[in-house]
Each structure stands twice: as structure tokens, then as C-alpha cells.
Structure 1
């Protein structure tokens, strides 16, 4: 992040605008929306105010003379739009006296930039791309405008008017926050958004005990709870809306090591973050300790999120945590996440089921070689069964040996899909007999192994087939597909 979003009070002093034409008028309209006082130096000497609102014109000082020698006393910012060669010169002058300056479409001479703005009165959303792509920022703004209630600004103003009276009646900050959440998410907030402001005012006035309304315990402390949230395989855009809401409401987040920083960034900024997970081969604090932390957080009145990679109920020990919370009498809820197998299937186009070919799926974990050796592989030999192995990279030789010994064909298609849905995702596909070698081609996990004929329908497999045909068209020969890929890559270099 190069540019930090800030909100500048444009009524604190005049803004000096240098420019002309429609570009200057666009800036004047924007400044007018913020009730700014503007001192405008027309670069072409012509102050054309056509198309501006009368109220905006009233706040514009039509300045004459050379802006390079103008008095900057009291000026809070300098803008250049349609200013031509005056832009860089004004930028140098602004920097010399420490004033923020924006030269339109000129990052080199700007110390701040204008974001795409969603204006809902007291609620303003600013979208920026660091000046790289205003069009992208505009598209994001359009998406936000499509889902943001038109009266959300009225709701913010309504809360602002009641904020101090409620603050005087509820001393504890967590309880105040709970109170306002119930107001916003409940019937009172709905009344404001429906334009029935008088009814909303009356309803809030009629709350005799705000602390009780917020859900206080006998101790006067807010009631805590735990939400088990599946973070999905890694792409933050795959979080559910309910997961995002839980992260935004959380006071504390207990997260696994595999949860990406991009997902953690979706949590409320002032929420505490506590790492509790572990990866294969690295020690963790233990499940009993995690359970204890969750219970302690909830009983202290906090809203805790237990954030797990993938889905907490697919080899994520979510069931154990639920049992501990039940026994402790702690309120809880569960938000499912996209498990790694589904993430791999979507990204690499692996249909986990396929009519007439794959009629069932088995999920298993074998994060240690000895676990894989203990599996009854004889029940996994059905050719119409897709097998998904979690945490199986280390156990790949045992997985292969177990399936081959049980009678599964050595030519069964398999795939190793690592870090699925993340920017550095990777796949290696081949035959069951070559499974350990495929794992060696992957630059680290986490990864899932998918075994079954469905892998032959995946995008990586079809790509390999195309490359193989190109190889054979050249009259070359190879012992396996991996040699084909290696040779073609060598030829490409």
C-alpha cells in the first residue's frame, strides 16, 4: 500500500485549484460535494462555471494572477487539473512548504491521489489502486454501490446522534459495540434504512436498559461466544459472506498456521490474533490447550473466531472443539469453508464425480507414513471411486504401495495438487505407480492427492496429452509423460 487512505476536512481552509476546462470543473463538482471552499486559478484565464450548481459556485473564489506567486496562507491542499505545465511547477511549490498536492494523472508530482468515491452522506467509501488503474477503482466502486443501501448514511447519522447518550449509559466498550450491532442488524436499523426515521428514534428511545438490550450477563459483562470458521483453501475471495461477517465481529481470532495473511487481513483491525495451529513436522500447542483458550475467551465476554484452513469438519478437529464448547456451556456456531479437495477440483478442473466413471468419493488423511500403512486399502480398489488424500505428501509411497497391493491398477490416473486457489498453486499428474515422483515435483505443501479416473478429465492431464501428441508428431519417443514434459521444456528454452 503506497497511499494511505485518509479523510481530509475540506472545510478547515481553502483548497487552491489550478486548471481549466472540463477537468477543472470535474474537480470543482467533487469539491462542492464536500462543501469545500475553493480558490480557483484558471490556467487559461477563463473561469468557466457552466454546469456547476449555484451552491458550489458560491463557495468558489475566482482568483486572478499567477498561482506560482499566490499567497498560500491558510491553504490546506493544492490541486491541478487541466493545468498543463503549471502542474509540476505548482507541485514543487507545494512540496517546498509542506502542502499536500495532486497533479491529475501525474503520480510523480503528486503526494496524494483521488480515489473512486461512493458518497452516502455520512458514509463515504473510497476505492484506490495507487493510481495504477482508475478504471479498476471505478469498477470496484460500482460493485460497492450496487450492494450498499441508499440510506446507509442516514443510519450512520442516526447512530451519531445517539452515540453520546448511549455511551453515558453503557460504560463497557465491548457491551456498547454489542448494543450498536443489535441496533444496526435489528428492526431499528431496518426502520432507518426504510426511511422511517421517526419510528426508529421512538424505538431506540423506548429501550429502558441498553445494557440488557445488548445481552449483558449478570456481571455486567457482554456474553461471549465462539464461531468456528472455515477459511477455505487459501483464496480470500472464497470466504463466505457469513465468514467475513464473523471475522469483522470478532474480538479475538485463533488461527491455524496455514491460514494466509490475506485472509487474516479480513478480520477487524483491532481484533487480537493468536496463532494456535501447527504444520506437519512442527510442534503446536495441542488440541486441549486450544479448547481451553476458546472457552476462556468466550467466558471473558469476547467473541472468538476459531479460523481453520479449508473446512473445520474435514480433518480439522472441529468436532472435538464443538464437544469441548458444549461441555463448558459456551455458545457457539459453525461457518463452513471450502475444503481443499473442492478448491483443487475447481481450480484444476477435476470433476470428483463423473457419470458412469466415478460414482463415489472417499476422503482420508494419511499425514504420517505409518497412518497410511494402517489403512485398509482393500475397500478402496473400486475403479469407480475417487480417493482424496489429505496431508499425504510424506505418505505418498505408502499410499501407492497400499493401493497397488490391494489390486488398484498401476495406471490409475493420479494428481498432486498443492497450495490450491493461491497464486503459487501447482499440480503434477500422472499414474499411480509414479505417485512419489509426482510429489517430488511439487515445491512444498499443503497438498491433496486425488486418485481415480476423474484426474484424466483435469486441465493439467489434458495439457500433458496435448504435449505428448506434439512430441509424437515429431517422431520422438519417451518412457513416460514426465520425460515428455522435460524434453519439450528443454526444446522451448
Structure 2
């Protein structure tokens, strides 16, 4: 993120506007709609304000002379639109004076940019693309416009009017947040959004016990809750809506090492973040310590999220954590995620089952050679079974040896799929006897191993066959 979204208070001073033509008039319309006071240098001498809001026009001061020697005292920002070379010179002067400046469509001369804006009164959404793709920003704005209620700004104003009166009866921040969540998500918020403001005002006046309204009996501390949330294999767009809601509602998030930074960015900004995971071969705090942290957070009245890569119940120790929470009498819920095996199959087009070819799937984990040695490979030799191995990179040689010794064909197709669904995902495909060499081609994990005839239907396998055929044709041509 290069540009930090900042909302400028236009009541603190005037905007200095330099320019001419339709470009400057577009900026005038935007600034007047936001209530700005404007000092305008019309560089072509045309000060026509027809078509602009008549009330807003009264806030325009028409300046004359050279803007390069204009008095900048009190000005909160300088804008140039349709000003040509004068805009560049004005930007240099403004930067030297320490004022924010925007030259329309001239990123190199600007210290801030204008986002695409969704305006709902007190609710304003700004969408930016770093100045590189304004058309894309407008498309995003259109999508947001389509889902935001028309009166959501009225709801923001309603809450703003009542925040101070309500805060006195809710001494703890967590209680205040829960109170307003119930307002926003409940009947009072629905009344405001339906345009029935007077009824909403009366409904909030009728709340005699704000603590009880927030869902907490007055005589007790707020009850905590733990959500076990599957973060999926890495792509933040694969989070479920329920998972996103849990991350936004959380007071504290305990997350695994494998959870991607893009997913961590979906957590509410003021929530505490506690890393509790570990990578293979590296020390961690231990499962008992994680369990204790979850129980402690809930007992303190917090809404805690245990955020896990993949799915909570697929090699994620979710069952152990639920047992600890149940024993401690802590309320909990489970929000599933896409497990890495399914993420790999989807991204690289590996059909884990295939009619007449693959009728069964087995998921197993093999951190190290010792884990592989403990597997009964004799149960995995059916050529109509797809075997999906989690955390199997370091045990690749032992996995190959176990399957070959049990009778699985050395020509069985296999795939090593690393960092699945992430931008740096990689795949290496081949046959079982070459499994360690395929793992060596992958720079780093985490990785999923898929073993079975279905790998021959995958996109990487098809690409490798095309490359092989092209190589043979090239050799033949020579």
C-alpha cells in the first residue's frame, strides 16, 4: 500500500484550485458536493459556474493574477486540473511549501490522489488503485454502490448522535462494541435503513439497561466465545463469509504460522494478534499452551478466534482444542475452511475422484520419515485410490519406499503442489519412482503430494506432455 487513505476535513480551510475547462469543473462539482470553500484560479479566464450547485457557488472565491505567487496561508490543499505546465510549476512550489498537492492524472507531480468515492452522507467509501487504474476503481465503486443500503449514512448519523449518551452506561469498550453491533444488525438499525427514523429514536430511548441489551446480564461479566476458523490454503478470496465476520468481530486472534499475510489483513484492525503456530522442524509453544490461551481469553469475556491454515479438522488439531474448551465450559463454534488438498486439486485441475479410475481418497500426514514408517502402506496400493499426503516433503523418500515396497506401481503419476492458491504456487509432476526428485524441484513448502492416476488429468501433467512432444519433434527435425 503506497497511498494511505486519509479523509480531509474541508471545514478547516479553503482548497486552492488551479485550472480550466471540463477537468477543473469536474473537480469543482466534487469539492462543492463535499462542502469545500474554494479559491479558484481560472487559467483560461473563463469563470463560468453555470450548471454548478447555486448554493455551493457562493463558496467559490475567484482569484486573479499568478497562482505561483499566491498566498498559501490557511490553505489545506492545492489542486491542479487542466493547468498544463503551470500545474507542474504549481506542484513544485506547493511541495516546497509543505502543502499536499494533486495534479490531475499526473502522479509524479502529486503528493496525494483522488479515489473513486461512494458517498452515503456520513458513510464515505474511498477506492484507490494507486492512480494507475481509475476505470477499475470506478468499477469497484459501482459494485459497492449496488450493495450498500441507500440510508446507511443515516444509520451512521443516528449512531453518532447516540454514542456519547450510551457510553456512560457501558464502561467497557467490549460492551460498547457489542451494543452497537446489536443496534446495527438488529431491529433498530433496520428501522433507520427503512426510513423510519422516529421509531428508531424511540426504540433506543426505551433501552433502560444498555448492558443487558448488549447481551450481558448486569450482574455478570461478558461471556467469551472461541471460534475455530479455517483460513483455507492461502488465497484470502477463499475465506467464507462466516469466517470474515468472525475475524471482524474478534477481540483477539491466535493464528498459525501458515496463515498468509493477506488473510491476516482481514482481521479487525484493533484486535490483538497472537502467533501460536509452528513450522515443521521449528519449536512452537505447544498445544497445551495454545489450549490454555484460548480458555483464558474466553474466561476474560473476549471473543477469540483460533485461525488455522486449511481446515480446523484436517490435521489442524481442532478436535483437541474443542475437547479443552468443552472441559473448561467455554462456548465455541467451528467455521470450516478449504483444506489444502482440495485447494491444490482445484488450482491445478486434479480430479481427486474420477469415474472408473479413482473411486476412493485417503488423506494422511507424514512430517518425517518416522511418520511414513508408521503408515500401513499395504492399504494404499489400490490403483483406484488417490492418496493425498500433507506435510510430506521431508519424508518423500520414505513415502516412495513404502508405497513401492507395498506393491504400488513405480509409474504411478504423482504431483507435488506447493503454496497452493497463492501467487507463488508451483507444481512438479512425474511418477512415483521420481518423487524425491520432484520435491527437490520445489523451492519450499508448504506442499501437498497427490499420488494416483488422477494426476495425469491435471493441467501441469498435460503441459508436461505437450512440452515433451515438442522436444521430440524438435529433435526429429534436427
SS in 2 for 1:345: helix
Map 1:277-292 → 2, pairs under 5 A: 277-292=277-292
Maintained 8 Å contact 1:215/1:223: no
Aligned-partner Cα distance in 2 for 1:374–1:12: 71
Partner residue, 1:84: 84
Deviations 1:221-252 (A, max 9, x none): 32211111111111112111111111111111
Partner residue, 1:487: none
SS in 1 for 2:2: coil
Partner residue, 1:47: 47
Q: Normalising by structure 1, report the TM-score.
A: 0.94
1:220 Cα offset (Å): 4.7
1:104 Cα offset (Å): 0.7
Aligned-partner Cα distance in 1 for 2:38–2:363: 66
Deviations 1:145-183 (A, max 9, x none): 222222211111111111011011111111111111111
Partner residue, 2:209: 209
Map 1:205-354 → 2, pairs under 5 A: 205-216=205-216, 220-354=220-354
Aligned-partner Cα distance in 1 for 2:446–2:341: 11
1:343 Cα offset (Å): 1.0
Q: 1:96 to 1:84 in 2, by over 3 A?
A: same
Unaligned runs of 5+ in 2: none
Partner residue, 1:134: 134
1:217 Cα offset (Å): 5.1
1:145 aligns with 2:145: yes
Deviations 1:190-228 (A, max 9, x none): 222222222222221111100011122565532211111
Aligned-partner Cα distance in 2 for 1:238–1:22: 43
Moved over 6 A (4+): none
Q: Normalising by structure 2, report the TM-score.
A: 0.97
SS in 2 for 1:169: coil
Partner residue, 2:366: 366
Partner residue, 2:98: 98
- Bigger shift: residues 1-10 or 427-436: 1-10
Partner residue, 2:69: 69
SS in 2 for 1:466: helix
Maintained 8 Å contact 1:224/1:300: yes
Aligned-partner Cα distance in 2 for 1:156–1:218: 27
Task: Give the number of aligned pairs.
Answer: 478
Deviations 1:370-412 (A, max 9, x none): 1211111222122221110101111111211222222211111
Maintained 8 Å contact 2:277/2:284: yes
CA RMSD in angstroms, aligned pairs only: 1.6
Maintained 8 Å contact 2:211/2:217: no
Partner residue, 1:417: 417
Aligned-partner Cα distance in 2 for 1:198–1:334: 39
SS in 1 for 2:87: helix
Maintained 8 Å contact 1:388/1:448: yes
Maintained 8 Å contact 2:390/2:448: yes
Aligned-partner Cα distance in 2 for 1:201–1:318: 44
Aligned-partner Cα distance in 2 for 1:47–1:116: 26
1:162 aligns with 2:173: no
